[in-house]
Amino acid sequence: MTTLNPAGWRPEMTPERRAKAATHSGNKALMLEEPLIFEIGSTETTGVDLAEPPAGKPRLGNLERTATIGLPGLAEPETVRHYTRLSRQNYAIDLGVFPLGSCTMKHNPRLNEKMARLPGFADVHPLQPVDTVQGALAVIQELAVWLIELTGMYGVAMSPKAGAHGELCGILCIKAALEARGEGHRKVILVPESAHGTNPATAAFAGYSVEDIPATADGRVDLAALKARLGPDVAAVMITNPNTCGLFERDMRAISDAVHAVGGYVYCDGANFNAIVGRVRPGDLGIDAMHINLHKTFSTPHGGGGPGSGPVVLSEALSPYGPLPFVAKQADGHFQLVEEETVGEDHPHSFGRMVAFHGQMGMFTRALTYILSHGADGLRQVAEDAVLNANYVLRSLDKTMTAPFGEAGPCMHEALFSDANLAEGFTTIDVAKGLIDEGYHPMTVYFPLVVHGAMLVEPTETESKAGLDAFIDALRSVVERAKAGDHSLKSAPHYAPRSRLDETLAARKPVLVWKEPEAAQAAE
Closest separation in Å from C-beta 262 to another protein: 21
Tell me: does residue 154 bind another protein (CB under 8 A): no
Based on CB atoms, which residue is closest to another protein, 9 or 154?
9
- Residues numbered 10 to 49 that lie near another protein (CB under 8 A) are 11-12, 14, 17, 20, 34, 36-38, 41-48
395: left (phi over 0), alpha (psi -120 to 50) or beta: alpha
Tell me: does residue 229 bind another protein (CB under 8 A): no
Q: Which amino acid is at 83?
A: Y
Closest separation in Å from C-beta 509 to another protein: 9
From candidates 97, 144, 155, 167, binder to another protein by CB under 8 A: 167
- In angstroms, rounded to a whole number, what is the distance separating the alpha carbons of residues 110 and 118? 13
Size of site (CB under 8 A) for another protein: 213
User: CA 132 → CA 122, 251, 256, 355, distances in Å?
Assistant: 14, 48, 43, 22
- Residues numbered 233 to 292 that lie near another protein (CB under 8 A) are 247-248, 250, 252-253, 276, 278-281, 284-285
End-to-end CA distance of the chain: 23
| Part of the chain binding another protein (CB under 8 A), chosen from 194-202, 225-233, 418-426, 479-487 | 194-202
Tell me: does residue 433 bind another protein (CB under 8 A): yes
Q: What contacts 284, CB < 8 A, 6 or more positions away?
A: 152, 253
Q: How far is CA 309 from the centre of its chain?
A: 9
Tell me: does residue 349 bind another protein (CB under 8 A): no
Tell me: does residue 348 bind another protein (CB under 8 A): no
From candidates 15, 30, 64, 330, binder to another protein by CB under 8 A: 64
- Residues numbered 68 to 107 that lie near another protein (CB under 8 A) are 68-74, 76, 79-80, 82-84, 86-95, 98, 100, 103, 105, 107
Tell me: does residue 333 bind another protein (CB under 8 A): no
Tell me: does residue 184 bind another protein (CB under 8 A): no
Neighbours of 251 (CB within 10 A): 19
Rg of the chain (C-alpha set): 26
5 in Cβ contact with 38 (< 8 Å): yes
Strands of the sheet with 289-291, listed across from one edge: 155-157, 312-314, 289-291, 265-269, 234-240, 188-192, 209-213
Q: How far is CA 336 from the centre of its chain?
A: 31
Closest separation in Å from C-beta 316 to another protein: 17
* Binding flags for another protein, 352-391, as an x/- string (CB under 8 A): xxxxxxxxxxxx-x--xx-xxxxxxxxxxxx-xx-xxx-x
Q: What contacts 202, CB < 8 A, 6 or more positions away?
A: 164, 167, 168, 171, 238
Tell me: does residue 168 bind another protein (CB under 8 A): yes
- Residues numbered 104 to 123 that lie near another protein (CB under 8 A) are 105, 107-109, 111, 113-123
